[in-house]
Chain A
Amino acid sequence: MWHEIGLTHYLVVAAALFVIGLYTVATRRNLVAVLMGVELIFNAAALNFVAFSHWVEGAVGGQVFALFVIVIAATEAAVALAIVLAIWRNFRSIDVADTTELRQ
């Protein structure tokens, strides 16, 4: 089965990518690193869509979705990184541990 690449292969890769992205978000103290993790998650989701669109329906809907994911990811990256800059200016640090104003 290993040489017959199918849907499940892609799903597994996407799952691994997703989980690693989650790990990055959950663990990293650098805000930018957290954002990079979020990008990983986006990519995993888009990969899933594309895989499904190829193997399950044959329609192009999945790819459209993946396209939109890319768009939104870019948008989100822009805004988030602008926020990071603002945080940097206010806190002089982009360590997550230092931006805990909402901490109880």
Chain B
Amino acid sequence: MSPAAAVVFYALAAAVVISALGVALARSIVTSALSLLGTLGGVAGLYLWIGADFLGIAQILIYVGGVLVLVLFAILMTHRIGDSRLTNLSAGVTVAAPSTIALGALLMKAALKTPWPVTEAAAAPTTARLGDALLDEWLLPFEVASLVLLLALVGAMVIARRAAHQKTRPADVA
């Protein structure tokens, strides 16, 4: 492969990691949300780089267009409008940092040391193949996934709506 491809990969990887750090460490929740945007986009780029074209696009459509928007909605609905310094505190860093770093080291070691049976594959459009797989080999999970989506829809609506007996508290409207 060409060095340019490698550089692109590294750029994408850096974007992903740095954005992830932004999610983890940002002071403001909105900053975290926007960093998440960067991460999701970077991951989509990585998909595309590897040749999973459908997946990359799907990532952007669903994650960035759906989940991220949902997160932003949630943020803005659960904080008082006008509270500019939307708090986003961290706690328990002293225990969490070392242990997660240790776990990360463990995983990377596992990744690097394990002799993967690697075979080089050519890049090819995957959409058709995905569609075939979904309706052929992976039909049942496909149907179940659609059912899950439906249930989630209904469930989210049920949970999120105001209950009939719940009175509107004056502070709610603040």
Contact = CB atoms under 8 A, between A and B. Distances in A.
Contacts of A84: 74, 78
B5 interface: yes
Contact of A64 (B32, B75, B90, B130): B130
Contacts of A37: 23-24
Contacts of A30: 29, 87-89
A72 B148 CA distance: 8
Interface residues of A, number: 75
B2 to A, nearest CB: 9
A16 B70 contact: no
Contacts of B111: 8, 11-12, 15
Given A81-B73, A82-B155, A70 B63 contact: yes
Majority SS at the chain B contact face: helix
29 contacts: A4-B6, A9-B13, A11-B108, A12-B108, A13-B13, A15-B108, A16-B104, A16-B108, A23-B24, A24-B24, A26-B100, A27-B90, A28-B89, A29-B88, A30-B87, A32-B33, A36-B71, A56-B116, A60-B126, A60-B133, A61-B133, A63-B54, A66-B47, A67-B54, A67-B55, A74-B67, A77-B71, A84-B78, A85-B160
Interface of B: 1, 3, 5-6, 9, 13, 16-17, 20-21, 23-24, 29, 32-33, 36, 39-40, 43, 46-47, 50-52, 54-55, 58-59, 62-63, 66-67, 70-71, 73-75, 77-78, 87-93, 96-97, 99-101, 103-104, 107-108, 111-112, 116-121, 126, 129-130, 133-134, 137-138, 141, 145, 148-149, 152-153, 155-160, 162, 166, 171-172
